[in-house]
């Protein structure tokens, strides 16, 4: 219960809910959220591909209704997301060029559903990359008939907060030559909370399209033995963001001494169907 000025209380609650939604969207790099599983984790159109399929699965114990909508997202340098309504310079939204069906799905426990995403109206598409995000959320349960909100007096109001979680995945349309590239800079090593070894890495993107790939960190001992100590799968740098800073916690295991030897960072990604690698090394002291 919130007591005081009802209008101010409601405004505070609404501000909190908006904050919650934005942070949930930004945290959905995984393909699962709550009882909903999704595959694939991103939808990419390039070449002659006109239709893609997205598979939804309900792993919960209850029947759930999922609603699909479109959101526009900016990637920040720290990898976080924030919702926007207008594209940044160098950013193109994709939602005018695809449609999704169905827009809502009811799934019993352990059932799956295929959602189709189809391109259209792409005849005047200029070269470059277009991106919007598909947001899938569990619809809040409807209030039973006859249930009525009540207030105890004019200065108090009862408010029930219900967290609604969802997943957002990018839908990307590429047209024309991909000139993207990435390099690694400003690599550093330090101990974070609870004496956990970690690497901080800056990825610098150039060119006309986003980059998506896997990060691997190897420890190289003074004798030359190599041990993988860190990974980050599916690390993206979306247009128009030119730089992304990533911190990866490293494993502590026998034979790995972070006071000597070196660390080797590699980022494997694809451009124009060719495998590329960006690499950098850091000497431990």
CA atoms within 13 A on the CB side of 140: 8
Percent of the residues in the chain that have a pLDDT greater than 70, as a whole number:
79
Mean pLDDT of the chain: 85
Euclidean distance between CA atoms 153 and 150, whole angstroms: 9
Whether pLDDT at 8 is above 50: no
Q: What are phi and psi of 241, to 5 degrees?
A: -60, 125
pLDDT at residue number 33: 53
- CATH fold, domain 181-283, is Immunoglobulin-like (2.60.40)
Contact 173, 50 (CB under 8 A): no
Euclidean distance between CA atoms 66 and 24, whole angstroms: 16
Q: What is the CATH number of domain 2-175?
A: 2.60.40.10
Label residue 104 by pLDDT band (50, 70, 90): very high
pLDDT at residue number 155: 61
Report how far apart, in Å, the C-alpha atoms of 60 and of each of 25, 93, 111 are.
21, 33, 10
pLDDT at residue number 165: 66
Give the tokens for residue 201.
């890495």
Give the tokens for residue 137.
């959320």
Higher pLDDT, 131 or 49: 131
Higher pLDDT, 55 or 6: 55
Whether pLDDT at 21 is above 50: no
Whether pLDDT at 249 is above 60: yes
Residue 8: enclosing H or E segment and its boundaries? helix 6-26
In the chain, CATH 2.60.40.10 covers: 2-175, 181-283
Percent of the residues in the chain that have a pLDDT greater than 90, as a whole number:
71
Label residue 284 by pLDDT band (50, 70, 90): very high
pLDDT at residue number 26: 38
Whether pLDDT at 124 is above 60: yes
Euclidean distance between CA atoms 256 and 226, whole angstroms: 9
Euclidean distance between CA atoms 159 and 145, whole angstroms: 18
pLDDT at residue number 47: 87
């Amino acid at each position: 219960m919130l007591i005081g000025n009802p209008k101010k209380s409601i405004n505070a609650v609404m501000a909190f809910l908006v904050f919650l939604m934005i942070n949930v969207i930004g945290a959905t790099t995984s393909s699962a959220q709550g009882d909903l599983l999704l595959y694939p984790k991103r939808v990419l159109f390039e070449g002659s591909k006109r239709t893609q399929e997205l598979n939804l699965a309900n792993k919960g114990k209850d029947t759930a209704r999922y609603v699909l909508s479109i959101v526009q997202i900016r990637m920040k340098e720290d990898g976080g997301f924030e919702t926007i309504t207008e594209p940044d310079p160098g950013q193109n939204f994709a939602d005018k060029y695809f449609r999704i069906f169905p827009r809502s799905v009811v799934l019993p426990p352990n059932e799956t559903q295929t959602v189709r995403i189809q391109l259209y109206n792409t005849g005047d598409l200029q070269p470059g990359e277009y991106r919007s995000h598909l947001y899938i959320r569990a619809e809040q349960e409807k209030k039973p008939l006859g249930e009525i909100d009540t207030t105890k007096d004019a200065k108090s109001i009862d408010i029930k907060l219900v967290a609604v979680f969802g997943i957002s995945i990018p839908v990307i349309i590429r047209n024309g030559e991909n000139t993207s590239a990435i390099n690694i800079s400003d690599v550093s090593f330090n101990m974070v909370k609870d004496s956990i070894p970690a690497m901080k890495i800056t990825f610098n993107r150039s060119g006309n399209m986003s980059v998506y790939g896997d990060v691997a960190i190897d420890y190289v001992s003074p004798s030359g033995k190599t041990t993988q100590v860190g990974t980050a799968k599916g690390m993206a740098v979306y247009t128009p963001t030119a730089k992304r800073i990533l911190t990866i916690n490293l494993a502590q295991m026998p034979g790995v001494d972070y006071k000597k030897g070196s660390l080797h960072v590699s980022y494997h990604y694809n451009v124009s169907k060719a495998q590329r690698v960006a690499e950098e090394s850091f000497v431990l002291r």
